[in-house]
Amino acid sequence: MGDHCTTDRPTPEGEVPTGELTKLGGVDVYVAKPADYPHSPSKLLLLLTGGTGIKSTNNQLQADKYAAEGYLVIMPDQFDNDPAPNTVNMAELNKDASWLETIKMKSAEGIKSFMIDMWLARHTPEKVLPILHKVIEGAKEEFADAVANGGGIYGVGYCFGAKYILILAGDHPDTVAWGQESPTDEEQGAVKKAPVIKAGAIAHGTMVTKEDLEAVKSPVYIIAVKDDPLFPEEEVLTPGRQALEKNQVDHEVQIFPGVPHGFAVYGDYDDSKIKQSQAQAYGLMLGWIQAH
């Protein structure tokens, strides 16, 4: 994962989140509602973040932006109160010299990379998908009006969260859809779960596989960064796009050149090109969801 997946950009001056941290299905969530909800109809949108998680001010502001467009936004803590490490406290690490010896790394950057690898090992589909399903089932019950008004649940995902939007937009064996091992017995895997979300939009995914894209059945909009090693075009995006075309899945792919991985996540940049690209990416993702 890149730095932009694990570290927030500066928050635009004067902006303060307006949603609330609460629980849904027993899971911590950030909920952002349109100003006139429930007096005016809304649609339910599941927003899955990068590694900075639901307590990130920028992620909360991103949810608020979608809420201002008429969506009831649910942003779950898919990391179970364990967001990605973005700083290294050397004093704490030095308390355990033996641990430092085992990782055999001298630089703070190397330690951070190791810690992120360990963090990713704790947050696999087997751990994340059951959390998301709890939230989705809770949302269907608590916000049934918004689900009904939208004819289903919409989804947007950034960085880490993008992979899971694709999974939720896919047609998977029953076990795989809940984060379990793929069945070896063909009969056991015969029962499939239909896509959980009606339509999805993702930006600069990480750990996305071509198999994730091959399974997608709901309409998806994909924003990628040119020459992005975290979402490689040749190995993942191109074969994935070919599979979407072959399977006749409604989709679009937009590749942004000259911007860093993570550029679409809300936050301030000095570079005007990145700022413009960020605003454009948001507009494209919002427009896709609105059109479906």
Domains within the chain, CATH numbers bracketed? 3-82+125-291 (3.40.50.1820), 88-122 (no CATH)
pTM for the structure as a whole: 0.85
pLDDT digits (tens, 9 = 90+) for 122-150: 768 889 999 999 999 999 999 999 999 99
User: What's residue 208's pLDDT?
Assistant: 94
User: What's residue 1's pLDDT?
Assistant: 58
User: What's residue 254's pLDDT?
Assistant: 97
pLDDT digits (tens, 9 = 90+) for 79-119: 888 887 764 333 344 444 455 555 444 455 555 666 777 77
User: What's residue 8's pLDDT?
Assistant: 84
User: What's residue 112's pLDDT?
Assistant: 62
User: What's residue 80's pLDDT?
Assistant: 86
- Helix H, strand E, coil C: the string for the chain is CCHHHHCCCCCCCCCCCCCEEEEECCEEEEEECCCCCCCCCCEEEEEECCCCCCCCHHHHHHHHHHHCCCEEEEEECCCCCCCCCCCCCHHHHHCCHHHHHHHCCCCHHHHHHHHHHHHHHHCCHHHHHHHHHHHHHHHHHHCHHHHHHHCCCEEEEECHHHHHHHHHCECEEHHHHCCCCCCCCCCCCCCEECCCCCEEEEECCCCCCHHHHHCECCCEEEEEECCCCCCCHHHHHHHHHHHHHHCCCCEEEEEECCCCCCCCCCCCCCCHHHHHHHHHHHHHHHHHHHHC
User: What's residue 106's pLDDT?
Assistant: 47
User: What's residue 192's pLDDT?
Assistant: 57
Residue ranges, the chain, pLDDT below 70:
1-4, 86-114, 120, 123, 173-192
